[in-house]
Structures are given as C-alpha cells and as structure tokens.
Amino acid sequence: MSKLSEAEAVEVAAAKKYKYGFKTNIEYEDFPKGLNEDIIREISKRKNEPDFMLEFRLKSFHNWLAMEEPEWPNLHYKKPNYNDIQYYSIPKKKPKLDSLDEVDPEILETYNKLGIPLQEQKMLAGVAVDAVFDSVSVATTFKEKLAEAGVIFCSISEAIQEHPELIKKYLGSVVPANDNFFATLNSAVFSDGSFCYVPKGVTCPMELSTYFRINNENSGQFERTLIIAEEGSSVSYLEGCTAPMFDTNQLHAAVVELVALDNAEIRYSTVQNWYPGDENGVGGIFNFVTKRGICRGVNSKISWTQVETGSAITWKYPSVILKGDNSIGEFYSVALTNDMQQADTGTKMIHLGKNTKSTIVSKGISAGKSQNSYRGLVKIGKKADGSRNYSVCDSMLIGDQCGAHTFPYIESNNSSSSVEHEATTSKIGEDQIFYLQQRGLDEEEAISLIINGFCKEVFKELPMEFAVEATKLLAIKLEGSVG
C-alpha cells in the first residue's frame, strides 16, 4: 500500500462518509450557494456557453420562480431548501486507490454478488486500472468505431460548443423550459450530461452507455441528456449501472429528451441504484427525473426500460408523445422499494398520430415499510384514429408494513381506438415458496426466483448483461426482508 498524501486521506475519509449520511462538508471550487440570476450567468460563463444557452437558462429560471413544488405525488419528504444548494461544482475526481484492498469490504461483497468482473470492480470503486483494462483506451476504441458510423456521442457541454445548431434545434423541444418544477430547475442550472446524434439511416454499431463515455466524471446532480435519432436510424442507450452509487448530493433532478424522426428507433434502458438511505429512512437520494421522448416521425419507435431499485424518493415518469402516424411507444418497468423507500413512478403515453400503439408493463415490488406507487396516463387524442394501448401493472407486496398503489389515468377522445388497462396486487405466493423450499431452495432463494419470474417480462427487454445483473440486484435488495 502506498502512502496517501494528507489531502487524499481526508478525501478518502469523506468518501466513506457518503454511505452513511449526507453531512458532507467537501469543499468545491469556490462557488457561492444559492440560486439567482447572477449564479445562472456565472454557470453559463464558466462553461463558456453561447448566448442562446444563457437565454435558455434564464428563461427557465424565471419560469421556475413562478412554479410551486408539486404536492400531488404520493410521496412524503422534507422539501429541499433550493437556496442552500451549490449549483455549480467541478465534480471532484474520485480518490484514486491503489488496490481493491482499500475499498470498503461491504461494497466489494456487493460487487461480487452482482458478478461484476474484477477489472470493472476496480473501475467502479475508483481504483487505478492497469494497462490491460484502461478505460481511456477502451473508450477511445469505442469513439473511433462510432465516428466511423457518423454517430456523435459526447457530453452535452461538448455538444453545446461543437454542435450548437443541433442543441439549438432540439434542446427543450421535448421537455420545454416551463414543463414542470424539477425539469425547469434542471433547464436553468444543468451541469452536464450526454448527447447523442445518430445520422440518417445509421444503425448505431454498439450499445451506448454513459459508463464508457470518455469524460466519465460524475455528471452531477442536474444531469441533462439529449438523444436524436434521424430518419431511419436506430440506437440503444444504457444509463446507470447495477453497482450501488453513492453521491454527496441529496437532490437529483435530471432531464432526458429523446427525439425520433421518421422510421427511427430509440431504446433507452436505465438501471438505477442510488443510495436509498438506511433502514430508518435517514439519508438517501431524492431522485426527481423528467424523461420524455417524442416519436416525431412516422413509424418511429421509442422504448423505455427501467429497473428502479435505489433512491429514498423516486419521482419519475418516462413518457412518449406519439405524434407521427404508426409510431410506437413502450414502457417496461420494475420498481422495487424496501425499508423506508418511496417511489411514485409510471409513464405517460400521449397518442396524437393515427394508428399509434403503446404498451405499458409495470411491475412494482414493495417490501419493508416502503410505499410504491404506479402513476400513469394514457391519453388518446381526437385525431389518433385506430390507436391502441395495452397496460398491465402488477404489484407484489412482501411483508405487511408496506403499501402498493396504482393511479392510472386513462383518457380517450376517439371512438376508433381502444385502451385496455389491468392491474393486480397480491402477496408473494406462499404455495410457490413452499414448493421451492420443498425442492431444496432456502427461503431467500425461493423468493428471489419468484421475483425474477414476476419481473421477467421487463428483464427480457434489457440488454443481456444488464438483465443478468439486474436479476442479482433484486435478490440483493430483498435480502433480509423476509422472515
């Protein structure tokens, strides 16, 4: 083990604290707390943004001032003090450790259970990686391959500098600057995020993932993602990873915008495993996310898949606006809450074009003292002739202290379209557990197997390696919740 400098030692100590609470006093580069016009100007200035971006941020900020934090979700939390947040910070590089021995053994155990390869473990834990698995070189290979295909994949700050015309055209076109409280806040202060542009007729040669993006520092708490799929193109994007994620910022308000033009297809998969707080509900991330895609062109398709297992508060409704005729929207979701976690998540499918189709499959699992809500909207517009929607949302309850709720809003203005919705809520089957135990599985294995069966419809939509990890993740999350 090499010697750590004093500063590094402090950082390591601070880093360990993340896990146990949010009393962090980490100094960032000097930037005042609070939110006002000067702060916004300063953010924009430091990021060296063109004028139109500053205007966008200021417009959003003024809209935000007039908005109220929504109270309709089935969530109970202490509202953050928005003037006590530092809105701009160069994220600190993670402390570089020399070997895995220096990593918290608890985290390592989780990695092992997830089956994450050793090299990846090192990367996740912030251990300096050797030449064989140099993240930079891997990323470079990826970049070359993408460039060959003409795909632009970079951070959104980079895109603002290098492709302002695309940003100008598409940023805020799906989630406008006055959309909702959290999205508008994001529009005003967003720090960084991903940008992806797939040109006409191109099928992206690989699954894109933030994980391999070259400047893969923490994107911070106000992440902004924009994906554009031109005519006839297709892309699959992965966000997050199954490994537990710790962060100093309690409030997260991300915005994701997807634009699919004629015959284009976007698949967006998320695995979210932010720190959920301890079993008494102390700490944990507040995750307020606005995700929306628009099928602007004919025959286009947007598919959301999410596995939500972390965060103390999850507020998230990945939506699709089906504007182009014959376009398709899909939403597959597994939301698991344990201990004191609260989730209010679902989707919105807005049918505007003719013969548009949408499918919603939502699986909620509540354990411990958690509250899990599905909230969805299916709206069939007047001109959406021949549209169809099929929704199914199932909830499973483990333990008698938790709650499951469904709030599906269904609205139809068109007599030639059809909407079907069904939902069930039930206990994990005692007979099934008994059957499996009788075959030699222990109770936890049995539950894990049943849960996997319950979620299979969603997992099969995930990219292969994600699906395997997600399966294990659920098992870990439910450990000790039965008994």
Partner 1 sequence: MTDTKGENKTSFLAELLNKSKFGADEPGFLQKVRKTGAERTLSLPFPTSKVEEWRQISLKPLERGEFFQAERTAVNESEISDFLFNESSQSRIVLSNGRVQDSLTNVSGLVGDCFAGTFADMPDKYRKNVEKRFNSVAQYGDDPFVPFNTATFGDVIFVYVPKNIQEKAPLHIMHVTKGDATYTSPRVFIFAERHSDITVIEDFIGFDESTYFNTAVSETVLEDEAHVTHVKLQRESTNAIHISRIASHLGRGSNYNSYTISIGAKLFRNEPLALVDDENAHATLDGLVMLRGDQVADTHSILDHLKPNCTSHQLHKVIAHDTAKSVFNGKIFVRKDSQQIDAFQENRNLLLSADATVFTKPQLEIFADDVKCSHGATIGQLSQDELFYLMSRGLSQAQSTQMLTYGFALEVIDNLPVESLRDQLAVEVERFANSVSAQKATV
Judged by CB under 8 A, which of 108, 405, 441, 457 binds partner 1? 405
User: Residue 475: which region, alpha, beta or left (left: phi > 0; alpha: psi -120 to 50)?
Assistant: alpha
Judged by CB under 8 A, which of 30, 51, 71, 84 binds partner 1? 71
Q: Which tokens sit at 269?
A: 């998969």
Judged by CB under 8 A, which of 191, 219, 345, 406 binds partner 1? 406
Q: 448-473 b/e with 16+ CB inside 10 Å = b?
A: bbbbeebbeebbebbeeebbebbbbb
Q: Which tokens sit at 225?
A: 């993602």
Binding residues for partner 1, rule CB under 8 A, total: 37
Judged by CB under 8 A, which of 72, 280, 439, 440 binds partner 1? 72
Q: How far apart are CA 213 and CA 136, in angstroms?
A: 9
Q: How far apart are CA 191 and CA 170, in angstroms?
A: 18
Judged by CB under 8 A, which of 416, 456, 465, 480 binds partner 1? 416
Judged by CB under 8 A, which of 409, 434, 445, 479 binds partner 1? 409
CB 92 → partner 1: shortest distance, Å?
Answer: 39
Site for partner 1 in 355-384 (CB under 8 A): 380, 382
Give, as one character, the DSSP assignment of residue 333: E
Judged by CB under 8 A, which of 299, 412, 432, 452 binds partner 1? 412
Is 349 a binder of partner 1 (CB under 8 A)?
no
Q: How far apart are CA 98 and CA 18, in angstroms?
A: 20
State which residue, 393 or 470, has the beta carbon closest to partner 1: 393
Site for partner 1 in 382-401 (CB under 8 A): 382, 395, 397-401
Is 215 a binder of partner 1 (CB under 8 A)?
no
State which residue, 164 or 403, has the beta carbon closest to partner 1: 403
Question: What stretches of 199-264 adopt beta strand conformation (E)?
Answer: 208-209, 224-229, 234-239, 251-260
CB 447 → partner 1: shortest distance, Å?
Answer: 13
Q: How far apart are CA 256 and CA 154, in angstroms?
A: 15
Judged by CB under 8 A, which of 256, 404, 450, 451 binds partner 1? 404
* β-strands 152-155, 194-198 pairing: antiparallel
State which residue, 33 or 427, has the beta carbon closest to partner 1: 427
What percent of the residues of the chain are helix, what percent strand, and what percent coil, each to the nearest 5?
Answer: 30, 30, 40
Q: How far apart are CA 109 and CA 114, in angstroms?
A: 9
Is 293 a binder of partner 1 (CB under 8 A)?
no
CB 349 → partner 1: shortest distance, Å?
Answer: 13
Judged by CB under 8 A, which of 423, 449, 468, 482 binds partner 1? 423
Question: CB neighbours of 198 closer than 8 A, spacing ≥ 6?
Answer: 151, 204, 227, 228, 229, 230, 233, 234, 235, 264
Judged by CB under 8 A, which of 33, 426, 437, 456 binds partner 1? 426
User: Residue 34: which region, alpha, beta or left (left: phi > 0; alpha: psi -120 to 50)?
Assistant: left
State which residue, 135 or 414, has the beta carbon closest to partner 1: 414
Is 425 a binder of partner 1 (CB under 8 A)?
yes
Is 41 a binder of partner 1 (CB under 8 A)?
no
Are 54 and 33 in contact, with CB atoms under 8 Å apart?
Answer: no
CB 180 → partner 1: shortest distance, Å?
Answer: 16
Residue whose token pair is 């554009």: 228
State which residue, 277 or 408, has the beta carbon closest to partner 1: 408
CB 380 → partner 1: shortest distance, Å?
Answer: 8
Residues in contact with partner 1 by CB under 8 A are 71-72, 74, 380, 382, 395, 397-427
